[in-house]
Amino acid sequence: MRRAYDLVIFDCDGVIVDSEVIANRVFRQFLAELGLEFTEQQVYERFLGRALADSLVIIEDLLGRPVPQASLQRYKRKRDETLRNEVRAVEGVAEVIRALTVPFCVASSGDHDKMRATLGATGLLSLFDGRIYSAVDVARAKPAPDVFLHAAEAMHTDPSRTAVIEDTVSGVTAARAAGMTVYGYASLTSAEKLTEAGAHMTFAHMRELEDLLGLH
C-alpha cells in the first residue's frame, strides 16, 4: 500500500521544543526595555509564529524609530542562553520522530542559532542534521509559504505529498498556501483557530500523531 506522505515537516517552536512560554518571557523583557509593555497573551496574539524580522517591523512601527542593534543583539543572546538552560522537548515528540518511516525535516520562523540552541539542548539536533530550514533562508516568512516550499524542494518532495505539523495560525496558513496537508497541534493556539486557518485536522497530544499521519 502506498504510504500517505513522502515527507513530514515539523515546525520547531511549540511543536518539537516547548519553547514558546520561555521565549515569550524573554521577548516581553526585550519589549519592556524598549518602552513597550505587553502582557503574555498580547505577545502571543501579536507575535506568535512570526519571524523576528517581521516582529521587528511591528515593534519599530510602534516605537516610531529603529530598534538599536545593541538591544537586539543583547536580546538574541539572552533568548538563546535562556532557551539552552530551560527548554524541554514537547512531550512525546521524540518518540514520534524516531518512529517515522518517511523522511522528515524542520522548517521554522526561528533563525538557525535559535534552532541549534533549542534542538541541541533537548538532544534532538542530530535527528535533523542537514535538514533544518529557516525563514531567514527565504524571501518571505510565514504566513507566506516560502520556507515550506524551500524545505520540500531541498528534500526533493512534491508539496502535495508533504504533511506539516504546526501550532500557530501563521504556520497553518503558510503550509496551506504551499499546497501541503496540515496537522494543527492545539497547545497555545486553540483547535478552533487552527481549523479556521485551514488545518486539515487538529490534535492535542503527540501520541495521536502517528495514527493521524497513517505512518505505522
pLDDT along the chain (216 residues), means of 10: 83 94 94 94 89 94 96 94 94 93 95 93 95 96 97 98 96 98 95 97 93 75
Are 52 and 86 within 8 A, CB to CB? no
Give the CATH H-level superfamily of domain 7-19+87-213. Answer: HAD superfamily/HAD-like (3.40.50.1000)
Characterize the bridge pairing of strands 201-203 and 7-10: unpaired
- H or E stretch including 202? strand 201-203
Q: Give the C-alpha separation, 119 to 113, whole Å.
A: 10
Characterize the bridge pairing of strands 201-203 and 181-185: parallel
What pLDDT is recorded for position 1? 44
What pLDDT is recorded for position 2? 58
Beta bridge partner(s), residue 165: 10, 183
Are 208 and 191 within 8 A, CB to CB? no
Show me where the domains of the chain are located. Answer: 7-19+87-213, 20-86
Q: Does domain 20-86 have CATH number 1.10.150.240?
A: yes
Give me the amino acid identity at 71: S
